[in-house]
Chain A
């Protein structure tokens, strides 16, 4: 197992885990909660006084606790959205690749068609048409991202299909469904893991983009994107409201990108050997 042997994977994965852990446990270490307002402490800078580690926002709410909440929401949104795209993409790609022929051609034609949609506009319309909620955000982001996954999985499946062990299983009369699940799916894991890791930062970006347009999560819930959006307006008088959530957002995105790169190196190396 060379996963932990790769320093990029070790460090970036470690940071992500650490952030997630702090986001999960941090609020318990603070005497403050995420929705109490204090009108005498609007936009006070970070201090250990009253455990305002990250200062307060424009309503006197504790930014440390809110940032932790924001990280949680952002991570959950990103992971669930990536999972949605994973399920759709893998199922779609595997079926197209395995069945092949006309079905494959037709299915890939649909993917090409969807590629031509100005997706971001449809996501905006989607958020406009339906009342916003978290579920919809997952679906919207997932729906944007499954196309890449489907293409990659299909390509991989196509090549796997021709391998000896699949041909052998087929000759032995194993059912197609079983072949897909038993023989093809396990061999897809590597590439799928890499792409999921790279989809997560994309999902985080889409979520924060929606928050920037005011189409994100509902108050008093928050996300890193929503915190950054609020911080942008106050950056001059209260730079911490932008720099802390913005920095964390960038750090998380960076770690996922590094993690994806590292994982790819690991799996590529395995492939070669």
Chain B
């Protein structure tokens, strides 16, 4: 297991290098520079600023400068947030994105798995139909339609929940964003769980367990849940990606200063170092998470380990 993990980690290095090169070339290929504004700068001032940020150097030199910084864990200074380094910005924004994403994921897993299991146990009942209809709706309505409608009704009209994020108040602010972000994932996971649970429940070992007189809940808990979770677990990778994407929209609408919001702004502002920093950070994160999912998969399904 250890050797496998190490090999996978080594294998991730070319991936990350590719990501860095691609992202570096793309941000620098984008038309317009980080210091262009409607209030154009006088030539001398512009030259001074370019020099301060090493933008007057040839591109390969800038790339090497970036790489050598990266090797020391330094993502460089932000061009747009001149008082902050990229490390600081990611350090401030990521915990929030993580909290948001993890809460949404947890909610999606709990609700999705329970709803899917319930639907599978009463296949073709009214409950099943309701759950599946909800799931289909959840998949089919984009986040950016759901979010403003929720804000309008729950926060502005009824004033039950706060409308946006603010560092000065409590966790209730995360309720709307988390629900919005989790909604499509609840739907996907419910569908996945239902299908795989139906499949597992029809297998021989479940029939044997049932024949031994065990109750439905016990059978599900002790025998069916684990194998039925495998497809859900393999879905974790795409789910993380989906939550990442969704969080860009959710953070934008609710004004949450997470990484997604920073990325969209940075791409627009041509904040080269911040764009690169976030891409590199997320790529590393995805590689690590995929690894964790694979290892978890091995824990649940021992056959995988032998391969």
Please report A residues at the B interface, Cβ cutoff 8 Å: 109, 113, 115-122, 124-126, 128-129, 201, 205, 208-209, 212-213, 225, 228-229, 232, 235-236, 242, 246, 249-251, 253-254, 257-258
Please name all residues of chain B whose beta carbon is closer than 8 Å to the beta carbon of A257 when the two chains form the complex. Answer: 136, 139-140
Please name all residues of chain B whose beta carbon is closer than 8 Å to the beta carbon of A249 when the two chains form the complex. Answer: 142, 145
A110 CB → nearest B CB, Å: 10
Distance A187 CA – B263 CA, assembled complex (angstroms): 43
B142 to A116, Cβ gap below 8 A? no
Q: Which 10 A-B pairs have the closest CB atoms?
A: A253-B140, A254-B140, A118-B282, A120-B245, A113-B15, A125-B26, A212-B144, A129-B30, A250-B141, A250-B140
A125 to B267, Cβ gap below 8 A? yes
Q: Does B209 have its Cβ within 8 Å of any Cβ on chain A?
A: no
Please name all residues of chain B whose beta carbon is closer than 8 Å to the beta carbon of A242 when the two chains form the complex. Answer: 145, 148-149
A144 CB → nearest B CB, Å: 10
B142 to A209, Cβ gap below 8 A? yes
| Further contacts, 14 of them, CB under 8 A, given A119-B241, A232-B145, A254-B139 | A109-B11, A113-B14, A113-B18, A117-B19, A118-B241, A118-B283, A121-B267, A121-B282, A122-B279, A125-B23, A201-B140, A205-B142, A228-B142, A257-B136
Q: Does B295 have its Cβ within 8 Å of any Cβ on chain A?
A: no
B305 CB → nearest A CB, Å: 18
Please indicate which of the listed interface residues A116, A125, A212, A249 has the most CB atoms of chain B within 10 Å of its own CB. A116
Chain A: CB-nearest residue to B148: A232
Please name all residues of chain B whose beta carbon is closer than 8 Å to the beta carbon of A236 when the two chains form the complex. Answer: 152
Q: What are 18 contact pairs spanning A and B, CB under 8 A?
A: A115-B237, A115-B286, A118-B241, A118-B282, A121-B263, A124-B264, A125-B23, A125-B27, A125-B267, A128-B30, A128-B267, A209-B245, A212-B144, A213-B252, A249-B142, A254-B136, A254-B137, A254-B140
Contacts known (A116-B15, A209-B249, A228-B144); A258 close to B136, Cβ less than 8 A: yes
Report which of B152, B264, B268, B279 forms a contact with A118, defined as CB distance below 8 A. B279
B156 CB → nearest A CB, Å: 9
A116 to B267, Cβ gap below 8 A? no
Q: Does B275 have its Cβ within 8 Å of any Cβ on chain A?
A: yes
Please name all residues of chain A whose beta carbon is closer than 8 Å to the beta carbon of B279 when the two chains form the complex. Answer: 118, 121-122
Distance A188 CA – B152 CA, assembled complex (angstroms): 47
Distance A250 CA – B283 CA, assembled complex (angstroms): 31
Please name all residues of chain A whose beta carbon is closer than 8 Å to the beta carbon of B155 when the two chains form the complex. Answer: none
Contacts known (A116-B287, A125-B26, A125-B30); A250 close to B137, Cβ less than 8 A: yes
Please name all residues of chain A whose beta carbon is closer than 8 Å to the beta carbon of B264 when the two chains form the complex. Answer: 124, 213
Give how many A-B residue pairs fall within 8 Å (CB-CB).
108
A191 CB → nearest B CB, Å: 16
Please name all residues of chain B whose beta carbon is closer than 8 Å to the beta carbon of A254 when the two chains form the complex. Answer: 136-137, 139-140
Distance A228 CA – B144 CA, assembled complex (angstroms): 9
Distance A254 CA – B135 CA, assembled complex (angstroms): 10
Distance A120 CA – B243 CA, assembled complex (angstroms): 11
Distance A129 CA – B267 CA, assembled complex (angstroms): 10
B187 CB → nearest A CB, Å: 10
Please name all residues of chain B whose beta carbon is closer than 8 Å to the beta carbon of A208 when the two chains form the complex. Answer: 142, 144
Q: Does B114 have its Cβ within 8 Å of any Cβ on chain A?
A: no
B245 to A116, Cβ gap below 8 A? no
B307 CB → nearest A CB, Å: 13
Distance A205 CA – B242 CA, assembled complex (angstroms): 11
A129 to B26, Cβ gap below 8 A? yes
B46 CB → nearest A CB, Å: 22
Chain A: CB-nearest residue to B241: A119
Please name all residues of chain A whose beta carbon is closer than 8 Å to the beta carbon of B290 when the two chains form the complex. Answer: 115-116
Contacts known (A118-B279, A236-B152); A228 close to B245, Cβ less than 8 A: no
Distance A118 CA – B289 CA, assembled complex (angstroms): 12
Distance A209 CA – B249 CA, assembled complex (angstroms): 8
From residue 20 to 52 of chain B, which have CB atoms closer than 8 A to chain A? 22-23, 26-27, 29-31
Chain B: CB-nearest residue to A242: B145
Please name all residues of chain B whose beta carbon is closer than 8 Å to the beta carbon of A232 when the two chains form the complex. Answer: 144-145, 148
- A-contact 0/1 string along B113-156, CB 8 Å cutoff: 00000000000000000000000110111101100110010000
A16 CB → nearest B CB, Å: 13
Q: Does B198 have its Cβ within 8 Å of any Cβ on chain A?
A: no
Please name all residues of chain A whose beta carbon is closer than 8 Å to the beta carbon of B144 when the two chains form the complex. Answer: 208-209, 212, 228-229, 232
Distance A201 CA – B140 CA, assembled complex (angstroms): 8
Q: Does B100 have its Cβ within 8 Å of any Cβ on chain A?
A: no
Report which of B11, B141, B283 forms a contact with A117, defined as CB distance below 8 A. B283
Distance A198 CA – B88 CA, assembled complex (angstroms): 40
B244 to A235, Cβ gap below 8 A? no
Distance A97 CA – B294 CA, assembled complex (angstroms): 22
Q: Does B93 have its Cβ within 8 Å of any Cβ on chain A?
A: no
Chain B: CB-nearest residue to A251: B140
Q: Does B12 have its Cβ within 8 Å of any Cβ on chain A?
A: yes
Chain A: CB-nearest residue to B291: A116
Distance A124 CA – B267 CA, assembled complex (angstroms): 8
A128 CB → nearest B CB, Å: 5
Distance A117 CA – B152 CA, assembled complex (angstroms): 35
Please name all residues of chain A whose beta carbon is closer than 8 Å to the beta carbon of B283 when the two chains form the complex. Answer: 116-118
Chain B: CB-nearest residue to A113: B15
- A-contact 0/1 string along B256-286, CB 8 Å cutoff: 0000000110011000000100110011001
A128 to B22, Cβ gap below 8 A? no
